[in-house]
Amino acid sequence: MKYSFKNDYSEMAHPRILDAFSAVQAKQFEGYGLDEHSAEATALIRKKVNALSADVHFIAGGTHANLVVISSILRPHEAVIAAESGHIFVHEAGSIEATGHKICTRVGINGKLSAGDIESVILEHSDEHMVKPRLVYLSLSTECGTVYTKAELSAVSKYCRDNNLYLYIDGARLGNAINSPACDLSYSDVSELADAFFIGGTKNGALFGEAIVICNDAMKKDFRFHLKQRGALLSKGAAIAVQFSAFFKDGLYNELASLANQKARKLADGIMASGFEFLFPVETNMIIPILPTEVAERMHKLYGFYDWKVFCDKTAVRLLTSWATREDKIDKFLADLNSV
Residue numbers 52-71 binding a second copy by CB under 8 A: 60-61, 63-68, 71
From 16, 30, 50, 272, residue interacting with a second copy (rule: CB under 8 A) = 30
Sorted by sequence, the CB contacts under 8 Å of residue 271 that are 6+ apart come out as 278, 287, 289, 334, 337
Cβ 222 to a second copy shortest distance, Å: 6
Regarding 300 and contact with a second copy (CB under 8 A), the answer is: no
Cβ 64 to a second copy shortest distance, Å: 3
From 51, 54, 56, 79, residue interacting with a second copy (rule: CB under 8 A) = 79
Strand partners, 136: 81, 167
Regarding 276 and contact with a second copy (CB under 8 A), the answer is: no
3-state helix, strand, coil in the chain (%, to 5): 45, 20, 40
Interactions with a second copy, residue window 217-256 (CB under 8 A): 222, 224-236, 238-239, 242
From 40, 84, 97, 119, residue interacting with a second copy (rule: CB under 8 A) = 97
Beta strand pairing status for 289-292 and 314-320? Answer: antiparallel
Closest to a second copy by CB, 46 vs 57, is: 57
Cβ 193 to a second copy shortest distance, Å: 25
For the chain, list the strands marked E by DSSP: 3-4, 55-59, 78-83, 103-106, 132-139, 166-170, 196-200, 210-214, 277-278, 286-287, 289-292, 303-304, 306-311, 314-320
Interactions with a second copy, residue window 184-223 (CB under 8 A): 202-203, 207-208, 222
Closest to a second copy by CB, 190 vs 206, is: 206
Interactions with a second copy, residue window 100-139 (CB under 8 A): 100-102, 128-132
Closest to a second copy by CB, 187 vs 198, is: 198
Regarding 273 and contact with a second copy (CB under 8 A), the answer is: no
From 16, 29, 272, 278, residue interacting with a second copy (rule: CB under 8 A) = 29
Regarding 144 and contact with a second copy (CB under 8 A), the answer is: no
Rounded CA separation 214/133 (Å): 20
Rounded CA separation 322/141 (Å): 14
Rounded CA separation 108/317 (Å): 20
Rounded CA separation 219/183 (Å): 27
